[in-house]
Structure 1
Amino acid sequence: MFNNIPPITRNIIIINIVVFIAAYLIPFLDLNLTGFYPFSPNFKSWQIITHMFMHGSFMHILFNMFTLFSFGPILEQALGDKKYLILYFLSGLGAFFLFNLWNFIEIQQLISQLKEMNIDVSEIYSSSDLRTYGYSRTAYLDQPLSRSLYEGLTGGMVGASGAIFGVIAAFATLYPEAKIGIMFIPVPVKVKYLLPIIIVGSVVLGVTGNVGGIAHLAHVGGAIVGFILAMIWKKHLYRFK
């Protein structure tokens, strides 16, 4: 069955699985491939891409790869290899950008508040370098705002969710009348109704900070890119090779 999956989708799934296993076997690989906040001491330029192949748990990668397996082959065959790859990776980049744009706003607010309290922000930045200090604590980290800044600088973004949300959004844009089954809903739902609900929910959860550990705004960023690309390509769908 695996050989019947179109090559781009199949190879993306394979790479994700290989990286997931390698991250558990190779020391510090996760530190180098996770997508950190761009102004954090832990950030490296390649993380903009590599974070898309990192996952935090078995259930995380299982859900993402099953979703890609469900929607990816249809789009790969409809769009062709080149446009499908553009869709996937630009959606992942859009996810990284929106997630860290919100991070930037929050972190700048924290820095302003900390400076008003005469707290040395540079010390927090220095101690957040995980390659040098690991997960350490400074004298300021018992203060909630200092701890929030530290966590923002040491918390990483992982997963293919942003790219996959772009794939889902493109699918919903190109095939709005398609019906899919979803957990806890007894009847199939048209994707043109389901996707907006998911996006609004992700925005609310991302802005309010509810359900920690999930980069909701990354999902939104990926979906926005997927929607835009699908709208651009939609008129020429049947011309794709």
Structure 2
Amino acid sequence: MMRTQLKNKILFYAKFHISARRLFASSPFPEGPDVVRLLPRLRRVRILGPTLWCLTAASAVYLGCAAYEVRQDVAILKRRLPAGTSISYDDIGARKVTSWIRSMHSERGSRLPDILSQDLSSSGQLITGTVAANLGIFAACRAVPLLGYHFAHLPSGSANYTLFTSMFGHAGLMHLGFNMYAFYGFTRPLARSKTFEGSGSHLAAFYLSTGMLASLAQHLASIWPNPVLRVVPSLGASGGVMAVVGAFGMTYPEAPIGIVFIPVSFPAQSVLAAVALVEMYGLFIGKWMRLGHAAHLAGLAAGSAYVHFKGNERLWEPARRFMFHQMRRLKMV
């Protein structure tokens, strides 16, 4: 049994390695006739299991991040209020804890406490930690090649957890460098927006949940419109990064965005529209373009919708309120 599993992992990694090497190649991959002969031998791509797993995992991550921030906010208030003071959600709702401490210390003419400084820099820690995690996983997969099996999602495979872990796998230095450059550049101004207000927990919930939904979209695209994708492992942070780009464009529509190797900038909304058209073309028409078009398009749509429909008010605050009351029942806060 163990030998069979090892053999399957080796075969998978061989396919993954070939796909990764050809990711930026100039010739089409896979070849048409070969794929036509290979597809009937593959198991059908599952729909219900991966969809339920992804929705459950994304919800758990979102609620978990909300609970973490609620616990932090309650801890800050308990340090500043008299012992035994009852804390309701209204005391920490809508990030009131930050403004409350700011106003208190501005009146006293003193500097902000270290614990608040750590809270305000939580988004910076999230950005740095995400980049470090991607770099570390890339190095580990190069040192132990079989680890690549756990950080790439094969639509025709049986694993669901790779819908999440594939967000941290990359095919090469070019793939990794481009994703992390875009993530770092767009996430910093987005973290300071009214939607996220410097909250690292909120940013983590948004990035991880939209990244998983983008992975699911790439998985479902192997059923339609491009069945060839079921034999190509998908990996990379680009789904979550595109969600960040979409949220950035909706938050700062007139902000100039430069394109690599082009010495001019364009308004963010124009760039979003152009990127969406390119991804739609690649997904439905130019199927020879071997990129994660479904993941990119889904991430872009999710990020744009999150800001447009005020996800901070309609999703994040209700999630915080729900977790506060649940934690209060369990006497965790």
Normalised by the size of structure 1, how large is the TM-score?
Answer: 0.72
Shift of 1:101: 1.9
Shift of 1:104: 1.5
Q: Is the 8 A contact 1:93 1:222 kept in 2?
A: no
Q: Does 1:17 align with 2:135?
A: yes
For 1:82, the equivalent position in structure 2 comes to 201
Name the CA distance, whole Å, in 1 between partners of 2:204 and 2:192. Answer: 12
> 1:22-101 counterparts in 2 under 5 A?
22-37=140-155, 40=156, 42-78=157-193, 79=196, 80-101=199-220
For 2:281, the equivalent position in structure 1 comes to 204
Shift of 1:12: 0.6
Letter of the aligned partner of 1:98 in structure 2? Answer: A
Unaligned runs of 5+ in 1: 111-147
For 2:310, the equivalent position in structure 1 comes to 233
Name the CA distance, whole Å, in 2 between partners of 1:91 and 1:58. Answer: 24
Letter of the aligned partner of 1:102 in structure 2? Answer: A
1:162-220 Cα deviation digits (max 9, x unpaired): 10000000000011111122234433211011111011111101212444431112100
Unaligned runs of 5+ in 2: 1-120, 318-333
* Residues 27 and 235 (structure 1), Cα distance of their counterparts in 2 relative to 1, 3 Å cut: closer
* Residues 9 and 187 (structure 1), Cα distance of their counterparts in 2 relative to 1, 3 Å cut: same
Q: Does 1:156 align with 2:233?
A: yes
Larger Rg: 2
Name the CA distance, whole Å, in 2 between partners of 1:202 and 1:17. Answer: 26
For 2:248, the equivalent position in structure 1 comes to 171
How much is the aligned-residue C-alpha RMSD, in angstroms? Answer: 2.6
Question: Equivalent residue of 1:11, what SS?
Answer: helix
Shift of 1:4: 11
* Equivalent of residue 193 in structure 1, options 254, 262, 270: 270
Q: Is the 8 A contact 1:33 1:46 kept in 2?
A: no
**Is 210-219 or 157-166 further displaced after alignment?**
210-219
Name the CA distance, whole Å, in 1 between partners of 2:311 and 2:122. Answer: 26
Q: State percent identity of aligned pairs.
A: 24
* Residues 106 and 182 (structure 1), Cα distance of their counterparts in 2 relative to 1, 3 Å cut: closer
1:111-133 Cα deviation digits (max 9, x unpaired): xxxxxxxxxxxxxxxxxxxxxxx
Aligned pairs, how many? 192
Q: Is the 8 A contact 1:91 1:165 kept in 2?
A: no
For 1:103, the equivalent position in structure 2 comes to 222
Misfit runs of 4+, over 6 Å:
none
Question: Equivalent residue of 1:188, what SS?
Answer: strand
Normalised by the size of structure 2, how large is the TM-score?
Answer: 0.53
Q: Is the 8 A contact 1:52 1:92 kept in 2?
A: yes
Name the CA distance, whole Å, in 1 between partners of 2:291 and 2:312. Answer: 34
Name the CA distance, whole Å, in 1 between partners of 2:150 and 2:260. Answer: 35
